[in-house]
Amino acid sequence: MYACNVSMHLRANTAREFARALQQDVLPMLRKQSGFTDGISFVAADCRDAMAISLWERQEDADAYNRDVYPKVLRSLAKVVEGTPRIEAYEVSNSTFHEIGSKN
């Protein structure tokens, strides 16, 4: 399993609009992507920073999304995101929800 972590700075007073855009615009795009398994987002207590993590079956699935769909996601979040989001990619080593990791 593979994970993409997107960190972003939100414009002032847009945390609710960010959550709405994720629910109505971004998640439907993600759900249509081959290999997408889960997504979770976080907003900091001060409502200025946010993070979204998407989980993928394979790195190739995440790469295809980043290449083909992520630019559309950025456009849908342009009103609430300030600056350029930072993307980091990871191999998932443990997940209780997805039952990944060593079993002793």
CATH number of the domain encompassing residue 47: 3.30.70.100
Reported as a pLDDT band with limits 50, 70 and 90, residue 11 is: very high
Domain total of the chain:
1
Percent of the chain's residues with pLDDT above 70: 93
Q: Calculate the average pLDDT of the chain.
A: 91
Q: Flag whether 97 is in a domain.
A: no
Q: Flag whether 48 is in a domain.
A: yes
Give the other-Cβ count within 10 Å of 97's Cβ: 9
- State yes or no: pLDDT of 104 exceeds 50: no
Q: Indicate the pTM of the whole model.
A: 0.86
Q: For 52-93, how does the pLDDT look when each residue is reduced to its tens digit (9 = 90+)?
A: 999 999 999 999 999 999 999 999 999 999 999 999 999 988
- The answer to whether 8 and 50 are in contact (CB under 8 A) is yes
